[in-house]
Structure 1
Amino acid sequence: MWCIKEIDDEYRKRMYTILKLYSKDYDPKYPIICFDEKHKHLTGDIVDKIPMKPGSPEKYDYQYSRNGTANIFVAVDFKGGKRDITVTDRRTKADFANYIKYLVNDVYSDAKHQRIVMYNLNTHTYLSILENFEYKEAIELISKITFYYTPKHASWLNIAEIEINVMDTQCTGRKISNKNLLIKETTAYQNYRNENKCKINWNFTKKNADKKLSKYYT
């Protein structure tokens, strides 16, 4: 909270809305999906590593090659223990729109309506969908989703950040040299987490928020 001097009505309104959403019982027909994206630098070794062996740790050189970048879309139904991780070259409006379509039509196709929590980036809009699909298709897609935006400086409210932190610890936090390897690694991570129905327990409530943050309220 060091970067926030005051929490205004708009901040509290958005925070309370998301906290109320998180408090609802799980309903697979109306999943709460937290969405985020991660920028990943692709880097490789210039000098081959020396693998570890009994009594000797792995040895590697500090120099590395730059092999471009990739984007990772992460969507997690944290109450249902299901997530999707998709690697793209970029994160344009078109990439976002196509990914939302993929979530609706493929990943969570059994749901009647998807409630999607995300931070307010300029690509994260209904307009991105309208600009990239025929009007009828766009309206049909929009009718199946509701976007919930976190307040500014409140990305901590987005549970997808927790999933990304886990993913970094277990998978993407290390050096990965190319997009194909990144896809292979993130797919393996995703499948393992989904097969084990790994959920995220969120316990922070409106009452907790008022107790912890009220000194910043305006």
Structure 2
Amino acid sequence: MSRRVRVVLSDGDRRFLESMVRRGEHKARAIARARVLLALDESDGSRVPSRAEAARRCLVSEQTVSRVADKWEATRDAAATVSRKERSSPPREPKVTGDVEVRIIAMACSTPPEGRARWTLRLLERHVKLDDGRPDLDHSTIGVVLKGGGVVGSGENV
């Protein structure tokens, strides 16, 4: 087990965490972390439970208690301790970039192929696959792109 970390919450932090737990509008993990911080709080002078006891009382593992205590020690901020770390970038790059989106919208607004009265999503899907330099996109993805671009439902060629 890691060393003991003293958790002393300010009145504002304590009120924030108590309202977070009481209202239950946050994610379950954030509420569990808030309960752990409240259990480890030494500001009121009461006996602080051991990590094992705090884990049992808060229905989390001892490792969770240790991680919450360590994060509190690093940040000294209740909101930062209970919230999830924001990602700086998505886990993978999106298939539809601005350039691809513009090309799809331009294709959908153009005249449909000979023998067709209008573009369908599946027809657009086939033409996107034939065009070099564009990723293979599913017809549902193309529909989302067109809906986001304001093309679907306009009554024009689509």
TM-score where L is the length of structure 1 = 0.17
> Which one has a larger percent helix, Structure 1 or Structure 2?
2
Structure number having the greater strand percentage: 1
Report the structure number with the largest CA radius of gyration: 2
> Normalised by the size of structure 2, how large is the TM-score?
0.22
Q: Bigger relative contact order, structure 1 or 2, given CA contacts below 8 A and separation 6+?
A: 1
